[in-house]
Amino acid sequence: MRALQVRELLSDHGGAGIVDLPIPDPAPGEVRVRVRAAGVNFPDLLMTGGGYQLKPELPFVSGLEFAGEVDAVGAGVADWDVGDAVVGGNRFGAMAEYAVVPAGALRPKPAALGWEEAAAYPVAYLTAYVALVRCGRIEAGETLLVHGAAGGVGLATVDLAKALGAKVIAAASSAEKRDAIGRLYAPDAVIAAHAGFREEVKRLTGGKGADVIFDPVGGDVFDESTRCIAFGGRLLVIGFASGRIPEVSVNMPLIKGFSIVGVRAGEYGRRFPERGAENVAAIDALAAAGMIRPHVHAALDLGDWRKGFAMLERREVIGKVVLKP
């Protein structure tokens, strides 16, 4: 089988490449999936250079998430049959023609989604759900400000928030991205992600500020977000795409009465398995009902993985890139 294997940790992805590997056999409790599409996520890029907190033993196959068909089941697996359409992942191993994962790492593919869409939604929408529902406790009618709204997780957050009945202000860096967000998901407002956005947020909220702020950027964006958050608001820390981890004087959340909440969707599910299963079931139900729909920016052959990785690094992707083995 073809697979994107990482043999050496290099920041330019030079230690990764397409190789031919034996098709793996599932052990007891495992399932082999014929991968139809695999989502590309920033952790995939970071892992090739050893820059992610998870460092699999070398060599390993990249890829957090996939959609495909059950090809074989190991001993003791009763929940899956050959031919079942599934989505899932196991933190790595998805960017190959076949992937072997624990049976519990799979769930049925929502019939409303094609292969490419199904590969694009598990990680992004789970992060969005944990952020908005579990950590942000967002309620219908509240105002949400989404930074990095054109990215895979940001765009999923816009989509999910609309489904949850929130008022959405989406912030993005370029006019092209802003136009795409408006066309795809029609948030209540789309604003430019430049210094001074706090005044626009205040204007749009009648001076109150945003009830919930989703921030995968950090740096100056986080700093300014503390100036346009509502009293009792929740500022959700997703990541630091800007490269600077910000700091805050605690008198700010004291005076303005807001909370700063860290979001780690995968770890949330590992710490609270029952709630984690509820999270997955919730996004699957929304997808099956057609209430959320991921946007695929590009679907590339697995051999074009460098092109897909470069798209993410240049921050030109609107939604998700998927690779098709």
pLDDT in tens, 147-196: 999 999 999 999 999 999 999 999 999 999 999 999 999 999 999 999 99
Of the pLDDT bands very low, low, confident and very high (cuts 50, 70, 90), residue 89 is: confident
Q: Is residue 149 domain-shared with residue 197, that is, in the same domain?
A: yes
Query: How many whole angstroms from its chain centre is CA 218?
Result: 17
Query: What does the buried/exposed string (b/e) look like for 71-85 if buried means 16 or more CB atoms within 10 Å of the residue's CB?
Result: bbbbeebeebeeebb
Q: Which residues contact 258 (CB under 8 A, 6 or more apart)?
A: 226, 229, 230, 231, 232, 233, 234, 235, 252
What is the four-CA torsion angle of 261, 312, 169, 287, rounded to 10 degrees?
-80
In one-letter notation, the amino acid at residue 283 is: I
Cβ 214 vs Cβ 157: under 8 Å: yes
Cβ 213 vs Cβ 233: under 8 Å: yes
* Helix, strand, coil fractions of the chain, as percent rounded to 5: 35, 25, 40
User: What are the pLDDT digits (tens) for 306-317?
Assistant: 999 999 999 899
Q: Is the pLDDT of residue 246 over 90?
A: yes
SS3 163: helix
**DSSP 8-state symbol, 105:** G
Of the pLDDT bands very low, low, confident and very high (cuts 50, 70, 90), residue 243 is: confident
Q: Does any domain span residue 285? A: no
Q: Is the pLDDT of residue 91 over 90?
A: no
Q: Across-strand partners of 66? A: 38, 88
What CATH code is carried by the domain that includes residue 63? Answer: 3.90.180.10
In one-letter notation, the amino acid at residue 116 is: E
pLDDT of residue 140: 97
Q: Does any domain span residue 60? A: yes
Q: Is the pLDDT of residue 31 over 90?
A: yes
Q: Is residue 127 domain-shared with residue 256, that is, in the same domain?
A: yes
Q: Is residue 109 domain-shared with residue 217, that is, in the same domain?
A: no
Q: Which residues contact 246 (CB under 8 A, 6 or more apart)?
A: 218, 219, 220, 222, 223, 240
- DSSP H/E element including 259: strand 259-262
Mean pLDDT value across the chain:
96
Please state the domain count of the chain: 2
User: What are the pLDDT digits (tens) for 258-276?
Assistant: 999 999 998 999 999 999 9
Q: Is residue 147 domain-shared with residue 179, that is, in the same domain?
A: yes
Q: Is residue 104 domain-shared with residue 145, that is, in the same domain?
A: no
Residue 115's domain comprises 2-121+294-324
Q: Is residue 167 domain-shared with residue 180, that is, in the same domain?
A: yes
Cα–Cα distance measured from residue 281 to residue 60, given in angstroms and rounded to the nearest whole number:
29
Q: Is residue 150 domain-shared with residue 263, that is, in the same domain?
A: yes
pTM across the whole model: 0.93
Q: Is residue 81 domain-shared with residue 196, that is, in the same domain?
A: no
Give the CA distances from residue 160 to residues 238, 276, 281, 292, 320, in Å, rounded to whole numbers and listed in that order.
Answer: 16, 17, 14, 6, 15
Q: Is residue 135 domain-shared with residue 11, that is, in the same domain?
A: no
In one-letter notation, the amino acid at residue 179 is: D
Q: Is the pLDDT of residue 54 over 90?
A: no
Cα–Cα distance measured from residue 58 to residue 228, given in angstroms and rounded to the nearest whole number:
45
User: What are the pLDDT digits (tens) for 92-104?
Assistant: 999 999 999 999 9
pLDDT of residue 312: 94
Query: How many whole angstroms from its chain centre is CA 279?
Result: 14
Q: Is residue 151 domain-shared with residue 251, that is, in the same domain?
A: yes
Cα–Cα distance measured from residue 211 to residue 167, given in angstroms and rounded to the nearest whole number:
10
pLDDT of residue 53: 80
Q: Where are the alpha helices (DSSP H) in the chain?
A: 42-48, 115-120, 122-129, 152-163, 175-185, 197-204, 219-225, 251-256, 265-271, 273-288, 305-313
